[in-house]
Structure 1
Amino acid sequence: MRCVVLVVCALVLTACSQSNEGKPQGVANGSPQAATSTSAAAGGESSLRDRIAWVQAGKTIDLGAYHSARIDNGPVTDLHADIAFVSPTGKISCITGVAVGIEGFDCEVQLKDPVPQPGEGYGNWFGGYLTYSGDRLTVGQFRGDPGLFINGKGQTLPYDSTLTFENYTCRLATNGLTCVNPTERTGVQISDSGIVPFGCLAEVPESEREPAVGRAYSC
């Protein structure tokens, strides 16, 4: 009888392990596990489905409060159709560029290990500057001006919140921001520990990427 009980328990534990394998965890345990550095696209179609489902399951936030930006304690600027938001720690700040015809969004990330400067370029080097446009992702960039952040940063986005704009949905967890574009079947996980693309995004060889960026990923 004892042997039968042990076998049954082992089968139950195995089934539970398999049912949870690869599934992103909720905010209590953070977003899907972050990589420690910028890496190549992670996971297959099953992983992508799990990540999209996890992002979409967050608490939906009204975009109304996120159509403005400000520099420090300066005046608030109305962004109209664009949105901007910052994480509670201030380590991740993102903004869209609808008004200037830019697809996707840009983020400034305070990376623990910023992407190294690839060589000489115009302007200042920002190793944690990210641009994501569905089928394209770049990390690290020479900047001659603030770009989309010329009016500062947006309002603070609470943890476990989900924002949906254009073809993108983003969910913020205690250990980072995960954004997906279900139409393009891509996504990116953003934290101070690193930037992780997933879906069809694959790293572009150095010889084929624009010289102003540190790393590039494309479908």
Structure 2
Amino acid sequence: MRIAVLLTASLLVAGCSGSTGGQAKQTQLTPITPSRSASSPSATTPTTSSAPAPAAGVPIAEAIKWIEAGPPIDAAQYHIALRGSVTTDLGDDIAFTTPAGTTCMTDAKHGAPAPACLVELTNPPPRPADAYGQWKGGWVDFDGGSIQVGSAHGDPGRFAYGQGRELPSDTSLSFGDYRCRTDANALVCVNYAKQSAVRLAADGVSAFACAQQVTPPPGIGVQYVC
């Protein structure tokens, strides 16, 4: 009897220790589903308000307050991208997808540490006559100093890797100078270094604070600058 008990205990210990190995960790990171870190405040004590994302035109202080009301989620979960059954380790880059389907990714290794997002816009900007390549009306670049909506691309660029896992509603994700929070419909991101923010949703792209719309450069649909 004592031998049987000891054998059972040994098997239990082996099973537990195996779940923390490298292979299990990769499997856990692969699905693009809402997943909150066990150590994250959002996983145990959700204290944030479920108020919807701020509307366009509100002071940036209100936008930042809403973003920061979302408990932070562990950014370590967002360093991968998934395309079909292939998972790509992005290193220090970040990739995430919102419940509304907006996909964002940084590309620091190619000189683009600011996030670019693909937004399913209801009315994307039309293709300019001077644009070359495949027109992506919902491609948004936000580097803090400017916001560009709609651009042409010869290939999928950073999004060739696929998309990141889902960022759950009412949580916030911090990376570099940025912090982002999403609800079911809109994503709002602030760049603290530039004190600017952007709202991304199907009904449009809105800039906060110092951003104002200007005539865009060739090949760009709409541009805001500080």
TM-score by length of 2: 0.75
Structure 2 Cα separation of the partners of residues 194 and 160 of structure 1: 20
* Identical columns (%): 37
Q: Is the 8 A contact 1:115 1:214 kept in 2?
A: yes
Is the partner of 2:86 in helix, strand or coil? coil
Q: Which of residues 27, 44, 51 is equivalent to 2:63?
A: 51
Q: Which of residues 181, 188, 212 is equivalent to 2:191?
A: 181
Q: How much has 1:27 moved relative to structure 2?
A: 5.6
Q: How much has 1:121 moved relative to structure 2?
A: 2.1
Structure 2 gaps of 5+ residues are 1-47
Structure 2 Cα separation of the partners of residues 111 and 172 of structure 1: 16
Structure 1 Cα separation of the partners of residues 225 and 211 of structure 2: 5
Q: Is the 8 A contact 2:100 2:186 kept in 1?
A: no
Question: What do you get for the CA RMSD once the two structures are aligned?
Answer: 1.4
Over residues 24-75 of structure 1, what are the superposed CA-to-partner deviations in whole Å (9 max), with x where a residue is unaligned?
A: xx763411025xxxxxxx34xxx1111112111102100111100021x221
Q: Is the 8 A contact 1:27 1:174 kept in 2?
A: no
User: Does 1:82 pair with 2:93?
Assistant: yes
Q: Is the 8 A contact 1:86 1:155 kept in 2?
A: yes
Structure 1 Cα separation of the partners of residues 100 and 53 of structure 2: 16
Structure 1 gaps of 5+ residues are 1-25, 35-41
Structure 2 Cα separation of the partners of residues 165 and 174 of structure 1: 21
User: Which protein has the larger Cα radius of gyration, Structure 1 or Structure 2?
Assistant: 2
Over residues 183-204 of structure 1, what are the superposed CA-to-partner deviations in whole Å (9 max), with x where a residue is unaligned?
A: 2110000011110011111111
User: Does 1:28 pair with 2:40?
Assistant: no
Is the partner of 1:130 in helix, strand or coil? strand
2:142 is matched with 132
Q: Is the 8 A contact 2:144 2:197 kept in 1?
A: yes
Runs in 1 of length 4+ with deviation above 2 angstroms? 26-29
User: Does 1:65 pair with 2:77?
Assistant: yes
